Structure 1
Amino acid sequence: MTAAPRFPSHCLRLLTLAAAMAWTTLALADDYAGVNALIRSGQAAAAIAKADEYLAAKPRDPQMRFLKGVAQSEAGRTADAIATFSALNADYPELPEPYNNLAVLHAGQAQFEKARAALEMAVRVNPRYAVAHENLGDVYARLAAVEYAKAQQLDAANTTVAPKLTLIRQLFERPRAQAAPPR
């Protein structure tokens, strides 16, 4: 497979607690809010530790496991986050959010086929999940770019490929003046 350019982090949307709070019950809100506050303040390691403490007593809690995966991702512990979201998908296949976040991590590693498969599961589980649909569109575009780049390598004389590849690359470029602030 042709080496694909690094997938810009601003392209796919990682679901964070703000969207996941729909899972919350009032009795547990403080535990989730505490971990979320640590994540938002850039204290991912502390968030992971607090999540682990909570999960020691309630190891199957899907929301805290989800938050732990978000914290792992924020801490740059991609392999751990992938493992966390994969385990959530296995234990709670009816939840689309872990599939979405798993896809974002795979796309960040240019593993677009894995990202596509995870996002297709997310939209199969919840056909009204707009974020997953948007992310799936982005992944399809990246897969198209990989194929156009292959076609260009195999047949440099083909003049129809270069404009298509340029258009797709422009989708993922963001002018410096419009760049989003880091998350």
Structure 2
Amino acid sequence: MKFARKNLSKSLALAAVSAALLAGGIARADEYGDVNQLLRNGKPQDALNKADQYLAGKPKDPQMRFLRGVVLTEAGRTGEAIAAFQKLTEDYPELPEPYNNLAVLYAGQAQFDKARAALEMAIRANPGYATAHENLGDVYAKLASQAYGRALRLDAGNAAVQPKLARIREVFAPDSRGSAAPAASPGPASR
């Protein structure tokens, strides 16, 4: 599954940059870049500190709150990341990316029904959000795999189920070079 990382949305990014320029503060745009750079440099705690410092003065900034959720995810603080993205979906239900990232975290915990619901909300917020559609397909495949597995446990002699389960497992299996198939990629990726 793909994880939205760079921007909440084009319109939000444009709004943030415009607001920064209008406020005479290119520094605001630099704050996002600084947090991103610290994260790219493998310094998630420093990135989190920088985000928290910024949010102390502007606690409602959705872009930095989103970025903070990404930092928490990268730092392996899944529970806190889920809470951050959940709060963003409550405060900004029109933004699809927090729902998508929430779904990726749920899927990583094998909570596929929650992941499905979050992705449906992302698609409701933005029907053209391709990453959410792709991730929803991945979640449906995982749910199908679980259902086929249960069917086999209940009726081991059902010859029709085994090939279906095998095909789904093949989609999520490492390819011949040892890397995961794109549809199963659980790590962060740009949209």
TM-score (normalizing by structure 2): 0.85
Task: For residues 69-109 of structure 1, give each alpha carbon's deviation from its aligned partner in whole angstroms, at most 9, with x where no partner exists.
Answer: 00000000000000000000000000000000000000000
Q: Does 1:15 align with 2:4?
A: yes
Please tell me whether the aligned partners of residues 148 and 161 of structure 2 are also in contact (alpha carbons under 8 angstroms). yes
Q: Percent identity?
A: 57
Q: Does 1:50 align with 2:43?
A: no
Q: CA deviation at 1:174?
A: 1.8
Matches within 5 A, 1:157-172: 157-172=157-172
**Distance in structure 2 (CA, Å) of the matches to 1:141 and 1:33:** 36
**Distance in structure 1 (CA, Å) of the matches to 2:3 and 2:42:** 16
Q: CA deviation at 1:41?
A: 1.7
What is the one-letter code of the residue matched to 2:108?
G
Instruction: Quote the residue 1:25 is aligned against.
Output: 17
What is the one-letter code of the residue matched to 1:16?
R
Q: CA deviation at 1:151?
A: 0.3
Q: CA deviation at 1:39?
A: 1.4
Out of 42-51 and 142-151, give the one that drifted further: 42-51
What is the one-letter code of the residue matched to 2:143?
L
Instruction: Quote the residue 2:138 is aligned against.
Output: 138
Runs of 4+ aligned structure 1 residues displaced above 2 Å come to 19-22, 180-183
**Distance in structure 2 (CA, Å) of the matches to 1:136 and 1:107:** 10
What is the one-letter code of the residue matched to 1:25?
V
5+ residue gaps, structure 1: 1-11
**Distance in structure 1 (CA, Å) of the matches to 2:78 and 2:61:** 21
Higher relative contact order (CA 8 A, sep 6+): 2
Please tell me whether the aligned partners of residues 44 and 75 of structure 2 are also in contact (alpha carbons under 8 angstroms). yes
Aligned alpha-carbon RMSD (Å): 1.7
**Distance in structure 2 (CA, Å) of the matches to 1:102 and 1:20:** 13
* Aligned residue-pair number: 171
**Distance in structure 1 (CA, Å) of the matches to 2:117 and 2:31:** 32
Q: CA deviation at 1:176?
A: 5.3
**Distance in structure 2 (CA, Å) of the matches to 1:168 and 1:78:** 27
TM-score (normalizing by structure 1): 0.89
